[in-house]
Structures are given as structure tokens and as C-alpha cells.
Amino acid sequence: MAGRGTAHLGAPEDSLLRIENLHVRFPTGRGTVFAVTDVSLDIRKGETLGLVGESGCGKSTTGRAIMQLPPPTEGTVVYDGQDLTRLKGEKLRSIRTKLQMIFQDPISSLNPRRKVEDIVAEGLRIWKIGTEAERAAKVDEVLEAVGLDPQVARGRRPHQFSGGQCQRISIARAVVTEPDLIICDEPVSALDVSVQAQILNLLEDLKTRYGLTVIFIAHDLAVVKNVSDRVAVMYLGRMCEVGPPDIIYSTPAHPYTEALLAAIPEPDPDKVDPDRVPLGGELPSPVSPPSGCHFRTRCPRADEVCVEVVPEMAPTGDGRFVACHHPLVETVVAVGAGSAQG
């Protein structure tokens, strides 16, 4: 069940990035879209946090709100002790050199009229980092780091590369200013399986080489499990479950997490698991989300309390937290202290 709360957050001094009570709403002609509702997360330095959920759950919007693209409607985004939601103009621009984003579509995120060397070097030139010779050397370094030959790639334009190569160029552009944090928004979803593996291995190598902290946004649970130190599950703009991937994937505590895992295709067509029941029902509209728990309209465990009360994050005692009135595992403290939401 999709809930709220900050019980899963660690001490502020232990977090490189800390998001509290984040809301993102978009006014439209048909009403307000509640894209992200009361999301709280923290990311420790050097960690990879996987953010998962089905399409439309608010993953990408959360990533963009962290970057202030656009700024969140409510809440705080504290990076290295500074609240980004309170920064404007030059102060926000300067701190963005330490936070970079890899966008979902590698080809459309690159300017088709510019050469690769200019695309990758743009951040260095804007901030006047190094001399022209030092910038050229840095561009060559990061192109080599992402597996591209600088002599071949430097003078070409994006349309002359495959999707996987364009994603490598996007990664090179993101790491060239030596950021602390990179937000990867579905970085492999548009790529072939073989290329996906290459990009994932590349991200792991770059994380070690440059000491990166990563938020990895994806809907492919198998991919997220392999690259993440912690996993956060979202549904219709709210947090459901946060914890170590091995624990969450082996014994999910949230009915929605269980449904996501049940939806993973079985590679053996002759193997049928009678316990795997696909999630039914339609995803509710973010313009008019359900009261109480957002997941209640599709949850087999839902009852009256789910209609009236937003579930709060509570520990399960094994290193994770779940926001559910009727979790699949026992919680350490009672759940259900939330307030009603219309």
C-alpha cells in the first residue's frame, strides 16, 4: 500500500542527499495531477539507490524534482547540507555541477547539430574548468572511460552513433564535471539486452572510478536488483517499501512489491507457478488518486482502514521499511497512525 512517513530515513549527517515530504503537482485543464505525493528518501555517499515502479508511478518526476527540473511543489531536497528548493539563479546553477542526470532517451537528449567533443565539453567550458588543452584531454579521458575511441568519436554527431553509443556519450557528458551524484533515468530501457549489460557494467566501473553516488530509476526489477545497494518501490506517487534488494526480492513485505515480482516473465515457458497471480485492475488516475492508501483499489488485502488512513512507513526488523496496513510480514511497530486523505 502506498504511504508516507520518514521512519526509514537515517541521520541527516549520514546522507549526501535527503528528500523529505516531496510533492510535485501539475495543474491541467482537467484538474491537478498529483505526480509525487509526500515522498521521503535519503541517499548515502557511494550508494546506489534503485527507484522502481510501473509506468506513471512518479519515478522520473521524482528524479527531475531533485534536479529542480521543475522545482517540487512542496518539500525539501537537501544536498550536502544545502536545501536546493531554496536556491535560485547562480547558486543553484553552480551546485548542479555536482548533480548530473542521464536521461531516458539517449538520442533525443543530445543536440543533433553539435559534435560529440562539444557536447561532452560543454559543462567544462561553461564553468571555465581548465585550459582548452586540459578540457580536450578531459574529454578524451571520459570518452575512453565509457568505451569510445576519442579519435573516432570526437568529431562526429549523435546521428552517426547507435542508441547504446549515444547513451555512452550521455554518460560521458554527465561525469566530465566530476559530480558527486548521478540520477540515471531509465538508462537502459531503450536498449537491446546485450547493450543493456554493457551500459550497466560501465556504470558500475565509473561509479568505482569516480566515486559516484547513483539514483537508478527503472521499471525492470531484475536490473535494479543487480545494481542497487537499496531499493525503493513507488506506486502512484507514493512510497511503498524501502530496503536491501535481496530481502525485498526474496520476501516482499508490500502487496504491490509482490505483484511487481510476480509480473517478471518466467524464461521457461513450461514452468508455471500457481502462486503467481498477476495484478488486476486499472491504474487509478493521478488526477483523482484514491483516498487513504493509493493501492487499495487493486489490493486483495484492502479494507475500510485502507480507504480512510494513509499508511505510515514502519520497520520490519530486517533492515527495510514498509508502508502498509496489512503487510505480508510483521512490522516492529504498529502501522496505521496516518491521517485520512481525501
- Check pLDDT > 70 for residue 342: no
Mean pLDDT of the 206-225 span = 91
Candidate from 121-135, 231-245, 320-334 with smallest mean pLDDT: 320-334
Lowest mean pLDDT among 8-22, 125-139, 200-214, 278-292: 278-292
Instruction: Give the pLDDT band (50/70/90) at residue 106.
Output: confident
Rounded Cα distance, 57 and 24, in Å:
12
What is the arrangement of strands in the sheet containing 74-79, beginning at the earlier edge strand?
31-43, 17-28, 74-79, 82-83
Residue 5: what pLDDT? 87
Q: Cα(172)–Cα(187) distance, rounded to whole angstroms?
A: 13
Closest CA to 176 of 215, 135, 214: 135
Which residues, including other chains, have CB under 8 Å from residue 13's CB and lie 6 or more apart?
none
> What is the pLDDT, as a whole number, of residue 273?
65
**pLDDT value at residue 275:** 64
Give the three cell numbers for residue 216: 537508478
pLDDT of residue 50: 97
Average pLDDT over residues 157-182: 94
pLDDT at 316 over 90: yes
Confidence of residue 337 (pLDDT cuts 50, 70, 90): very low
146 neighbors 182 (Cβ within 8 angstroms): no
Interstrand relation of 31-43 and 17-28 (parallel, antiparallel or unpaired): antiparallel
Phi, psi for 233 (deg, rounded to 5):
-105, 130
The pLDDT mean for the chain works out to: 90
Q: What is the pTM of this model?
A: 0.91
